[in-house]
Structure 1
Amino acid sequence: MRGPGISVVICVYTEDRWEDILAAVRSVRAQSYPALETLLVVDHNPALLDRLTRAYEETGGVRVLPNAGPRGLSAGRNTGVSASRGEVIAFLDDDAVAERGWLRSFAEGYTDPRVLAVGGRTVPVWASGRRPAWFPEEFDWVVGCTYKGLPPGRARVRNVLGGNASFRRAAFEAAGGFATGIGRDGDRRPLGCEETELCIRLSLACPDAVLLIDDRAVIHHRVPEPRERFGYFRTRTYAEGLSKALVARSVGAAKGLESERRYATRVLPAGFARGLRDALLGRPGGAGRAAAIVTGILTAAGGYAVGSVRARRSGSPFSGAAVRETQGQRP
């Protein structure tokens, strides 16, 4: 098929993921719909930058460059967008591998000119070999994966999930880039929602825009053992509440919490009921899943309350860095 040229951006920050990074790049190079280029954006780590530069200096189609903005995932993605050449920019996590048809599924979504973003399905690869019995599928977003409650097939959504997503370049020209100060920043508190905030801004800037997820665009995301623990679950759900408060501060609570209301009032109660039923039937993990859902709701709500107070006190909580300001700097 003929379709848009797609640049793939992989943001990296630590040598601890060296083998994961190499595997991610190999999966992009093996696509049935070839990428125009792969950009590795290194987040303020000179040793990793030098090592990757040497590893790929004779490899065509792979470019290694430093994050040109402040430390963090949002600025790294903005750097990749500004340096890329494709009509579409896809993002892949540095600890994930894409199935061979990943980019082809993205490209097919852009046959409709109204489509400005297409996301995919992210499958967890548990370090222990299987899902912890207590871990509810409704909370797979905690480990960066597609969660129970999202629509199947190819469907319209409010926002895509950043570790497996693509955008037309026109989306950044219309709405600006990822907001710095909201997403991940190395080993600090596991914040998120930078892609949610961008997608909402995009829909406000382009009311006719269509944003899709396509569950045929599959990647497999490694979940390390520390993230299988209940302590990380609590930390991540609390951080999500903090992040959602920043999003609501930026785009308003009506838009910022639109999807979350359905999730909290329909998806989670159904998951809780399934957990209780399994517990009553003596099935492993049922009580744990029900308890985890309640814990996740409470910790996220607590994070949202704390984040809302902080956001009101600090005024503007983060900066929506406009990629269009750097379009002329593309090499």
Structure 2
Amino acid sequence: MLDRGARPSVTIVICAYTERRWDRLLDVIESVRAQSVAPQEVLVVIDHNAGLYERLTEIVDDVTVVESSGPRGLSGARNTGVLLADSDIVAFLDDDAEAAPDWLQRLLALYDDPDVLAVGGRVEPVWETGRPGYFGEELDWIVGCSHRGMPKVASEVRNVIGANMSFRLEVLRQVGGFNLSLGRQGTLPLGCEETEICIRSKIGSPGSRIVYEPAALVRHHVPADRGTLRYMLSRSWSEGISKAQVSRVVGQKRALGPERRYVRSVLPRAVFSGIRDWGRGDNPQGLGRAGAVIAVLAWTAAGYVRGRRLAHVEGRPLSGTVIARAPWSEVQ
């Protein structure tokens, strides 16, 4: 157990899979170098891309570059980082999310409380071509960012956001790591692996807490094609399917509690605000913003229903909970 008042050691894990984000990846690494609190180690895990691995190892010598030892996908790459880490805390960054200089310091400050299992921070979108007028801040979860309705001060939450999160290493190993049946695989926009692991972590540690600290900021690059209605609906459909998977693992109440509150309070205000702005002439995009919220809600619900149905079809990949045996269990 970490001594109260002692600064915990931390490993930063950055997962990358494509050379198309090369410049972004270098910017992320540079943002880690500029942290006000130095990490014990920085691991860049390359997800089954030999060309990217060789290219990066040729130019960096102050970070550890490794190839994923798990199956293809984000969860497998993250579990590789957990396997190799030797620190109190493991912090995760996306390969297109630059950390503010005090990001790590802000995260680590919350671990003074021994009941805190995980800490995540705010993810702010940086739009490649500007935010589309119909894309309200209530829907920023679609692009992996913090959305309107989330806490504005440090607060207990159900789960952290994947692009900006940290865990106690012992917790990740106790629960068996990230579920390999969840998480993004290349460009396939599945997700919810961070939701599921946070829920499992708390189940195993009654009285523990997951904390969201909005002052721990990262800025997440959002390419133009992720602001299109096509992507919004595709991501919403996938989110519904992913939530169906999670509900099979931990139950509907745990899996959907915050989503129900979000649907009851945040989304109606977004729709009414959009219609009001359009009606007053304050914002001609208001009607489109309201329509996008309704469409996203409908597509997410449809994806969830589809996922629940698939889960009962024998032989389908959604048919149950498959969490691979933790590779580190043999080395503890």
Task: Name the TM-score class by shorter chain.
Answer: over 0.9
Partner of 2:237: 238
Is contact 1:182–1:318 with CA below 8 Å preserved after alignment? no
Cα distance in 2, alignment partners of residues 212 and 138 from structure 1: 20
Cα offset for 1:276? 1.2
Is contact 2:173–2:328 with CA below 8 Å preserved after alignment? no
Correspondence 1:87-236 to 2 at 5 A = 87-128=88-129, 130-188=130-188, 190-236=189-235
Question: TM-score, normalised to structure 2's length?
Answer: 0.95
CA deviations over 1:235-262 (Å, ceiling 9, x no partner): 1111100100000011111111111110
For residue 183 of structure 2, what is the amino acid of its counterpart?
A: G
Is contact 2:310–2:319 with CA below 8 Å preserved after alignment? no
- Which aligned runs of 4 or more in structure 1 are off by greater than 3 angstroms? 314-318, 327-330
For residue 149 of structure 1, what is the amino acid of its counterpart?
A: G
SS at match of 1:199: helix
Cα offset for 1:326? 1.1
**Percent of counterpart pairs with the same letter?**
44
For residue 172 of structure 1, what is the amino acid of its counterpart?
A: L
Partner of 1:86: 87
Structure 2: which 5+ residue stretches go unaligned? none
SS at match of 1:180: coil
Cα offset for 1:316? 3.9
Is contact 1:238–1:299 with CA below 8 Å preserved after alignment? yes
CA deviations over 1:93-124 (Å, ceiling 9, x no partner): 10110000000001101010110100000100
CA deviations over 1:288-309 (Å, ceiling 9, x no partner): 1100110010000000010111
Is contact 1:175–1:322 with CA below 8 Å preserved after alignment? no
Cα offset for 1:322? 4.7
For residue 175 of structure 1, what is the amino acid of its counterpart?
A: V
SS at match of 1:241: helix
CA deviations over 1:118-173 (Å, ceiling 9, x no partner): 00001000011x31111011110101100011111100000001110000012113
Structure 1: which 5+ residue stretches go unaligned? none
Partner of 2:322: 319
SS at match of 1:110: helix
Partner of 2:64: 63
Is contact 1:21–1:95 with CA below 8 Å preserved after alignment? yes
Partner of 1:13: 17
Cα distance in 1, alignment partners of residues 207 and 325 from structure 2: 21
SS at match of 2:281: coil
Cα distance in 1, alignment partners of residues 176 and 207 from structure 2: 17
CA deviations over 1:184-240 (Å, ceiling 9, x no partner): 00123x011000010111111112111000011000000001111111011111110
Cα distance in 2, alignment partners of residues 4 and 309 from structure 1: 44
For residue 50 of structure 1, what is the amino acid of its counterpart?
A: E
Cα offset for 1:327? 5.0
CA deviations over 1:13-65 (Å, ceiling 9, x no partner): 00111111111001001000111111000011111111111122xx23x1011
Aligned mate of 2:53, from 49, 56, 62: 49
Aligned residues: 324
Cα distance in 1, alignment partners of residues 13 and 238 from structure 2: 25
For residue 100 of structure 2, what is the amino acid of its counterpart?
A: E
Cα distance in 1, alignment partners of residues 193 and 172 from structure 2: 13
